[in-house]
Structure 1
Amino acid sequence: MAKKEITVTLKKSTISCNQKQKATVKGLGLRKTGSSKTLENTPAVRGMIKKVIHLLDIKE
């Protein structure tokens, strides 16, 4: 059975975000605006994405 993956791209800067949101973006492995990362589709990753969804572009 193949594992499902999600590609997340940082589309907005984290300059105006609070420290928790910045830490969440860093935890997802994103650094600069436009950077992308392919992650496993797990409940933990989904929760992190939900906290900063306004900054991300998501493709399943």
Structure 2
Amino acid sequence: MAQLKVTLVRSAAHRLPKQRAIVKALGLHRVNSSVVKPDNDAIRGALFKIAHLITVEEVK
């Protein structure tokens, strides 16, 4: 199964509470922190909501 590397490139401070909650739920803490998540519809939906704060790479 494909994996996605998600990196927080902009701060979640001063964002909507729902967006901050998504960042926290994904396990992202500080700017430039990264996590590897499975590529599924639930994760894709969460990433779509905070697309302006993150970068996403596909990992083998």
The question of a shared fold, defined as TM-score above 0.5 by the shorter chain, is answered with yes
CA distance in 2, matches of 1:50, 1:30: 15
Deviations, residues 1-31 of structure 1 (Å, cap 9, x unaligned) = xx10000000000112011000001111101
Letter in 1 for 2:12: T
Q: Is 1:28 the equivalent of 2:26? A: yes
Segments of structure 2 that go 5 or more residues without pairing to the other structure are none
Q: How does 1:39-50 map to 2 (within 5 A)?
A: 39-50=37-48
Q: Secondary structure at the match of 1:6?
A: strand
Segments of structure 1 that go 5 or more residues without pairing to the other structure are none
Calculate the aligned-residue CA RMSD, in Å.
Answer: 0.5
Matching residue of 1:56: 54
Q: In percent, how many aligned pairs have the same letter?
A: 36
What is the TM-score when the length of structure 1 is the normalising length? 0.93
